[in-house]
Amino acid sequence: MSLPMPAARRIRISFNWAQHRIRIKMASQVFPSHNSLQTQTSVLRASFANGGAGTFVTDKYHTAPIKIAKAFPLEGQLGVIVMDVSPGLLNGDRYEFDWRACASTYTFITNQSYTKVHPSEEEGGSSMLQSFVLDEDAVIEHMPEPIMLYQSARLDNETRVTLAPGAVWMQADVLCPGRTLRNEVFRYRELRNSLTVYYGEELIFVQRQRVKPEEQMLSASGCWEGQTHWATFYLFSDRVNGTLLEVLQTVLDHLPPFQQHTVLAGATLTYRHGIAVSAASTAAWPLQQTMRLLWQAARMSLLGKPPLSFLKS
């Protein structure tokens, strides 16, 4: 039985808003091509508001192949599922996501399946930008499925977050180094990951990662060593304190056994208003479960919310 969608009549497409796009780097600027690679940009923008009875979508706009597959009430918040009707990010593709949460909204965002990054040309690549703007006391939980980097793939993945007082933004990412059953581990060309967080006008966090497997000794001490998969959990809010850090560290200290897959992980407070957790293992599913345990603990400790029953166990 499908879930009711009482907010469906309140959803409208705002073409005027969609025309005011963020000025950002195009994929051809990130990875210049001597062959003048043509960039195919796909856009998804959505705005959320609180109507008194709960959070609902006020504006949305999308271009193929990405769109909101469904938005529905979910245990006191709005659930949003993103659909990609293509095979994934192909050479020259760029995805741009723009999420705006108005005051006192509560939104959970996920997608239907792995983000697959397909092989690129020698000087080509794919790129993705996700922008989150949260007004006062807004909450966004972004829990996407893992990113899969195929052999010869190149990806520039950028996330930007702007928080108002009382807002809460959290995200869990899992990175797969290729299709392990096809012996594609660390055979992608390049990965660039970046996260920038603002609290009002103040820059409070910057994270940059660049991985080029052919040029780096990823198995060296202090790097991946014997691990192949990587995950991060970030939570930013002016509500963050040392107590929450202790809660998340306790989760990491008591992780269940994951068969032969050991999970190495650590948590730390950031410079201001944030917690960062990094974890590594030899498969995606133990990291997915670890991220889910951290997320559940953060929901209960910071927001007083029990685990969502929507996601598969």
Q: Residue type for 58, please?
A: T
Distance CA 108, CA 141 (A): 5
How confident is residue 236, by pLDDT bands cut at 50, 70 and 90? Answer: very high
Q: Which segments of 150-240 does DSSP mark as H helices, in order? A: none
Percent of the chain with pLDDT over 90: 79
Strands 93-101 and 126-134, sheet pairing: parallel
Q: What average pLDDT score do residues 236-252 get?
A: 97
Higher per-residue confidence, 118 vs 76? 118
Give pLDDT, residue 132: 98
Give pLDDT, residue 31: 53
Distance CA 22, CA 87 (A): 26
As a 3-state breakdown, the chain gives helix, strand, coil percent values, each rounded to 5, of: 15, 45, 40
Distance CA 6, CA 124 (A): 44
Give pLDDT, residue 39: 80
Residue 47 has pLDDT above 80, yes or no: yes
pLDDT tens track for 103-141: 999 999 999 999 999 999 988 999 999 999 999 999 999
How confident is residue 313, by pLDDT bands cut at 50, 70 and 90? Answer: very low
Residue 76 has pLDDT above 80, yes or no: yes
Whether the CA torsion 27, 207, 235, 224 is positive or negative: it is positive
pTM metric for this prediction = 0.87
Give pLDDT, residue 310: 67
Helices (H) and strands (E) in the chain, counts: 4, 18
Query: To which residue do tokens 């690549």 refer?
Result: 125
Give pLDDT, residue 129: 98
Q: What average pLDDT score do residues 32-59 get?
A: 83
Residue 5 has pLDDT above 70, yes or no: no
